[in-house]
Chains A and B, each alone.
Chain A
Amino acid sequence: MTLSLPGLRRGPIEVEAASTVPASSATPETLLSVRGVSRRFVTSRHDTTALQDISLGIKLGEFICVVGPSGCGKSTLLNLVAGLDQPSEGQLLFDNKPITGSGAERVVVFQEAALYPWLNVRANVEFGLKMKGVPKSDRTPIVDKYLELVNLTKFDKAFVHELSGGMKQRVQLARALAVEPRMLLMDEPFAALDAQTRDVLQLELQDIWARTGSTILFITHNVREAALLADRVFVMTPGPGRIKAEILVPLMRPRHLDTHAVVDFAAEIRQALQHDDYGSRAPEASFAI
């Protein structure tokens, strides 16, 4: 089957922009809505605009990637959604309610060093449930379930320092999923891993997403990762951080690494990243999936 490249837009994107998302079968209910959000960091010497006039919407069950070079404010955006930081202007609505702080409905998977070394794997996965006040007897089956989901059942008694980088990220993923968040926020979770491990984890994440039906906001600077995982990709540009383009990735799932379609979309995203006039030219390419 053939299809033409999706429409590309420049500048701020309205909430309504992504009304047709082929890869997501969930109800088209907007879970997160970011409206005209700016974030400035003012110190005595510098006045930096990390984010300028960001608007976007994320629907239930969508997998969204935000791609951009370092310093484009993508992690700042994630922190705002997580409720770890407040915007200077604009509004973030989650479930139509303003985000006022962090909470287990929006959980973050960090790049590294976010596990607790004094706890074993099981206790780390249990952590969020414990903070939520889930009783001990109820925690065990939930932890078992998510350890199995990330293939770490055999390692439940291991200490953190005994795990490889990839296993640590799986523990983080299980810990985040265990509290059953409404939205999973992933801040370059695979960036510190070696290439082979990253490939494996990307495919596993796709599988887990398909099985759990989570809504995921995934920050990365890796265009192929975005093409492989995302329903929609937001391309950001630095100084000040803005959304430069929104790219729909209407490829069938499960997707596979190095297939033409994924590679071509990766190239498309890379072009959007590199060229200033990207959004203004008409999409013309068409190719087979």
Chain B
Amino acid sequence: MAFDSALLHGVLTPRLRISVTREKAAGMLLVLGFYAALIGLWQLVYELEIWSPYLLPEPSQVLQSVRRYIDSGVLLESIETTMQRMLAGFAIAFVLGMTIGIATGSVKWVDQTLGSLVLGMQSLPSICWLPLAILWFGLSEKAIIFVVVLGSVWAIAISARDGVRSIPVLQRRTAQVFGASRWQTIRYVTLPGMLPSMASGLKLGWSFSWRSLMAGEIIFVTAGLGHLLQLGRDLNNMALVLAIMGVIVAVGLAFDRLIFGPLDNWVQNRWGLSGR
């Protein structure tokens, strides 16, 4: 299959090939084989005509759909819109969550008051804020970003609080002994010291936000990947629906691999947590 060989070619660039051990190559082949079989199975089900083609298009139709939307520029535009909402919301959530987390992690009475609220809020799926957000902000970008913020802020705040709490007492006392000011202590001890707990919290927050953003875009907002997905449904265009679902998976995976994976690796190496 042309698709597979292209993938294989893309994965095994010359620079990588040097470092790829035989064992890793075998593992990669296994994974590729698995997905090739899955696509083969899909093709087979399509050929058997169990469902009509408009309910289950064949793989190549979905690929074509992706290509058409890339060519028209709509897909990239949608990804851009979605990512802008995501990044804006996540950045706000990061700053807010870190502030709340450091405050609840360091000051007891703040933890007893604000901390309990954070725990409560975390159990509310952030898409439930959408009706409120629409009433407050109208059908606007603000409303959807609000939902993204609320998707991750609690998870970030909770992991930040745990991160502050997990810093060994002697590490904080050392800063005190050397006469560090309160801000120096936060900058040079608290912030880096909370990273191991943060790595998983950020990832969790990101995935919560990502889910609520998709839900929000499907429900009401114009433009964006969720909107495109809903468009596919409205046009009864199953190939588009499946194509966009694939793109949503790909974007999610890309962030996991490009940002949270390396962050986690860095922490594991620095702290010597990997045990390898």
Contacts and interface: CB of A to CB of B under 8 A. Distances in A.
A116 B189 contact: yes
A82 B177 contact: yes
Contacts of A130: 188
Main secondary structure of the interface of B (DSSP, over half): helix
**Looking at chain A, what size class is its interface with the partner chain?**
20 to 34
Interface stretch (A7-15, A26-34, A106-114, A216-224): A106-114
A117 B270 contact: yes
A159 B271 CA distance: 8
Contacts of B176: 84, 102
A190 interface: no
A116 B177 contact: no
A162 interface: yes
A84 B172 CA distance: 11
A118 B178 contact: no
Interface of A: 82, 84, 102-104, 106-108, 110, 112-119, 127-128, 130-132, 159-162, 179
Contact of B184 (A102, A131, A161): A131
B178 A128 contact: yes
Interface string B138-154: 00000000000000000
B84 interface: no
A116 B195 CA distance: 12
B171 A113 contact: yes
B188 A159 contact: no
Contacts of B73: none
Given A102-B177, A108-B177, A118-B192, A113 B271 contact: no
Contact of A84 (B177, B189, B192): B177
13 contacts: A84-B176, A102-B177, A112-B170, A114-B170, A114-B174, A117-B270, A117-B272, A118-B270, A127-B174, A128-B178, A132-B178, A160-B272, A179-B178
Contacts of B188: 127, 130-131
A84 B192 CA distance: 23
